[in-house]
Amino acid sequence: MRIVILTGAGISAESGIPTFRTDDGGPALWAQHRIEDVATPEAYRRDPDLVHAFYRARREAAARAEPNAAHIALAEAAEVLGERMLVVTQNVDDLHERAGHPASGLVHMHGRLASAFCTACGVRIEGGGFGDACACGRGVLRPDIVWFGEMPYEMDRIERAILAADLFVAIGTSGEVYPAAGFVDLANEVGAKTVELNLAPTSGVFRASVTGPASETVPALVRDLLDAHR
Ligand code: NAD
């Protein structure tokens, strides 16, 4: 069985990282900052200091958070299932990695807070300080985050994996931000079983829906997957 799992902000909510929406009961990130002020290339050109400060704060918040049972269960499944399972995360935190998820089975389609790249020469620096001058002398280090209007990373690899998948699972994602929101349609088209795990169903496009907090529903899903694998 080939499995693609898409994770969103909901999987990190119980680790204390706020989601992007106000209706989850927490101080949603985008209620405090307008997207156009911090997460677009235009915003960056207009006020890079504001954007750097915003992502520095997010990096610090992510560093304070710990992986929860959902990240840990997925990491265990990835160890056992190897290349039969790919986790595609929209999250820019590193909680999947810190739960022990093997890098070969994880795609950060919207980038990573831990990384920065130079606006002039493009070099990527792990842990590079946002706004620091690059060693090339021509640019500064910007967050390695895919902003609205930019192309998500590794789309070819993700689409190939979905085309070959028997099972597509979306965990803790509202399904409002494309192209990730369209992955389920592709999975349905190729006849994969499509399942969503969320606090409440988001749409009617999944063949099955499991409601509850990710820290409970994901370990249960992983138990079923590993039982079926044995
Ligand atoms: P979201 O905030 O839109 O949705 C979170 C979902 O998680 C909701 O459907 C909610 O019901 C669910 N949820 C909350 N707590 C949960 C829990 N404990 N267990 C299970 N589910 C839970 O987040 P999203 O869908 O990941 O957002 C899509 C993407 O949009 C984001 O990952 C982000 O990359 C992107 N985005 C990016 C920027 C940017 O800076 N480039 C800005 C805004 C959004």
Asked whether the beta carbons of 92 and 112 are under 8 A apart, the reply is yes
Indicate whether 217 pLDDT > 70: yes
The CATH number that applies at residue 125 is: 3.30.1600.10
- Over range 224-229, report the average pLDDT: 93
Protein residue with least CA distance to atom 2, ligand 1: 20
pLDDT in tens, 86-134: 999 999 999 999 999 999 999 999 999 999 999 999 999 999 999 999 9
- Non-local CB neighbours of 131 within 8 Å, separated by 6+ positions: 48, 49, 52, 140, 141
Indicate whether 25 pLDDT > 60: no
% of the chain residues with pLDDT over 90: 89
Q: Is ligand 1 within 6 A of the CB of residue 153? A: no
120 CA → ligand 1 middle, Å: 31
Q: Of 107, 90, 100, 92, which Cα lies nearest the Cα of 69?
A: 100
Indicate whether 77 pLDDT > 80: yes
> Residue 200's CB: how many other CB atoms inside 10 A?
9
Q: Catalytic residue among 96, 101, 108, 110, which? A: 110
One domain for residues 100 and 158? yes
Residue 5 DSSP SS3: strand
One domain for residues 166 and 119? no
pLDDT of residue 222: 98
Give the range of the structural domain holding residue 193, as residue numbers without chain letter: 1-17+66-110+152-230
DSSP secondary structure of 21-74: -GGGSS--HHHHS-HHHHSSHHHHHH-HHHHHHHHHHHHHHHHH----HHHHHH
110 is catalytic: yes
One domain for residues 223 and 173? yes
Provide the number of structural domains found in the chain.
2
One domain for residues 101 and 214? yes
Query: Number of helices and strands (H, E) in the chain?
Result: 10, 9
One domain for residues 56 and 157? no
One domain for residues 86 and 25? no
Q: Of 131, 60, 141, which Cα lies nearest the Cα of 94?
A: 60
Q: Is ligand 1 within 6 A of the CB of residue 19? A: yes
Residue 55's pLDDT band (cuts 50, 70, 90): very high
Lowest mean pLDDT among 28-32, 66-70, 95-99: 28-32
pLDDT of residue 133: 98
One domain for residues 165 and 57? no
Q: Is ligand 1 within 6 A of the CB of residue 12? A: no
* Partners of 89 in the β-ladder: 7, 108
One domain for residues 179 and 124? no
- Over range 22-51, report the average pLDDT: 82
127 CA → ligand 1 middle, Å: 24
- Say which amino acid occupies 44: Y
One domain for residues 56 and 72? no
Q: Is ligand 1 within 6 A of the CB of residue 37? A: no
One domain for residues 190 and 208? yes
One domain for residues 25 and 98? no
pLDDT in tens, 146-203: 999 999 999 999 999 999 999 999 999 999 999 999 999 999 999 999 999 999 999 8
